[in-house]
Amino acid sequence: MNTLPFHPIRAYRASLLRFDDAGRAVFDTDGLLVVDSAGKVAAAGDYASLKAQFAHLPAQHFPGRIIAPGFVDLHVHYPQIDVIGSPADGLLPWLENYTFPEEKRYVAGEYSARAATFFIAELLRNGVTTALTFATSHVASVNAMFEAADTAGLRIITGKCLQDRNCPEGVRDETESSLIDTESLIQRWHGKGSRGQLGYAITPRFAPACSDAQMRGMGALAAKYPDAWIQSHVSENVDEIAWAKELYPEDASYVSVYDRFGLLREKSIYAHCIHFDDADRALMKARSAAAAVCPTSNLFLGSGNFDFAAAQSGGMAHGLASDVGGGTSFSPFKTMLAAHYVSRSTSRSHSQAKQAVTLSPEQLWWLHTAGAAKALALEGVVGNLQIGCDADFVILNPQATPLLARRTARAESLAEMLFALIVLGDDRLIEQTHVASS
């Protein structure tokens, strides 16, 4: 008799990729993944070693395929699916001319719901099973996203974007009601969903668009709800940084503005963090905050390059993110490839020499799975396939295109295989995406 509350119910056999606690890739050429009735990983490892134990479970066999953790997108904007690829001179005109006009439309629940459904389908098509996404400043946009995520059983963290100044009517909110709405939404959605997978993120758009009173109010909510996430933008673009300096002249730096208001803490994720100095990185580290690195967005908007070497040596937690619609693709393969280019680049935006760091393919993959999960304080929950993790996974087909088939057949090591997938891969590589409930 089985006395465990949850019992193994499904098994999948294929090559299997996961990560150990030190972030090293673990790969079984012929592996087995066993999922229990709660949608968690019950066993993962070499098929030959596990097959006797799970002989009663007929394994679905995927020869030639790779089972890998579902990807974690650490920063994305679901209301910007129709903004991707909009030409602009840089961040601020891009916000003004494309992003804010589009986001105004999300005042309508039906418009938001259609976009949310499309967005979730696009995440799944690209193998993304956890996302920290902005909504707009409209409550309807938050409800629509949580409802769509709940229907799909997907782990989504989102929140109402707060922006009570320096932005146009239609997206600008009002200080007091924005804080009241945020608290009601936390109470309605945080920790809810069919398996408790929905999470709330307190979401200042960025300090230049928030009044002192709004920042203070968000800091109070962050203290009252320490389990909620915080997401925002910082130090992305030189004009934005100069503007933040004008608006907050007393603060030592842009990121210390968030700190002064109590918005820098564990479970806070700041997108970009490009033009940081060592003191900024040390502050992020001291507060256990994490950076969402958005390479396709930074390249597209000409914002600058994230300094991977300095982040590593300074111990600032970071993970990868699409940042759609500043970012150009939902595909984690495109994001990892862009991160590779950036990590290799030796020119810094301030034209000083910069130490290049070569991220291995395993590191790039970790930064978009287990590493991104760690940044979210969801280590051991998502982004990996160790025992106890949510069984959120993808089945990759390395023969998905003629070129992929040809190149991966020549791979002589795990690093070569993963790099070929990163360089040549896109949504065609994702044959199936499973979330814990499916």
The number of residues making up the chain comes to: 438
Helix axes 332-344, 414-424, angle to 10 degrees: 110
Q: Is residue 362 involved in binding ligand GUN (CB under 6 A)? A: no
Neighbours of 58 (CB within 10 A): 10
Pairing of strands 155-159, 199-204: parallel
CA proximity to 278, closest of 309, 246, 240: 309
Residue nearest to ligand GUN (CB): 326
Site string for ligand GUN, 242-281 (x = CB under 6 A): ----------------------------------------
Look up residue 45 and give its DSSP letter: E
Q: Is residue 236 involved in binding ligand GUN (CB under 6 A)? A: yes
Identify residues 278-307 at the interface with ligand GUN (CB under 6 A).
297
Rounded distance between C-alpha atoms, residue 302 and residue 116, angstroms: 28
Helix axes 175-189, 139-152, angle to 10 degrees: 10
Rounded distance between C-alpha atoms, residue 123 and residue 120, angstroms: 5
CB of 112 to ligand GUN, least distance (A): 16
What is the residue whose two structure tokens read 């009517």?
169
Q: Is residue 233 involved in binding ligand GUN (CB under 6 A)? A: yes
Residues in contact with Zn ion, total (CB under 5 A)?
2
Comparing CB distances to Zn ion, the nearer of 84 and 435 is 84
Comparing CB distances to ligand GUN, the nearer of 254 and 366 is 254
Work out what residue 158 binds among Zn ion, ligand GUN, none; the CB cut-off runs from 5 to 8 Å by kind: none
Q: Is the peptide bond before 325 cis (omega within 30 degrees of 0)?
A: yes
Buried/exposed 118-157: b ≥16 CB within 10 Å, e otherwise: ebbebbbebbbbbbbbbbbbbbbbbbbbbbbbbebbbbbb
Q: Is residue 160 involved in binding ligand GUN (CB under 6 A)? A: no
Work out what residue 236 binds among ligand GUN, Zn ion, none; the CB cut-off runs from 5 to 8 Å by kind: ligand GUN
Interface residue with ligand GUN, options 18, 77, 155, 275 (CB under 6 A): 77
Neighbours of 433 (CB within 10 A): 20
Comparing CB distances to ligand GUN, the nearer of 91 and 424 is 91
Stretch near Zn ion under the rule CB under 5 A, chosen from 270-278, 355-363, 365-373, 428-436: 270-278
Inter-residue contact 188 to 236 (CB < 8 Å): no
What strand order describes the sheet that includes 25-36? 41-46, 25-36, 8-19, 60-69, 393-396, 430-434
CB of 297 to ligand GUN, least distance (A): 5
Work out what residue 99 binds among Zn ion, ligand GUN, none; the CB cut-off runs from 5 to 8 Å by kind: ligand GUN
Three-state DSSP class for 9?
strand
Comparing CB distances to Zn ion, the nearer of 182 and 322 is 322
Comparing CB distances to Zn ion, the nearer of 271 and 291 is 271
Identify residues 197-216 at the interface with ligand GUN (CB under 6 A).
205-206
Q: Is residue 271 involved in binding Zn ion (CB under 5 A)? A: yes
Q: Is residue 164 involved in binding ligand GUN (CB under 6 A)? A: no
Stretch near ligand GUN under the rule CB under 6 A, chosen from 38-46, 91-99, 254-262, 385-393: 91-99
Site residues, ligand GUN (CB under 6 A): 77, 91, 95, 99, 205-206, 233, 236, 297, 323, 326
Give the footprint of Zn ion on this chain (CB under 5 A).
271, 323
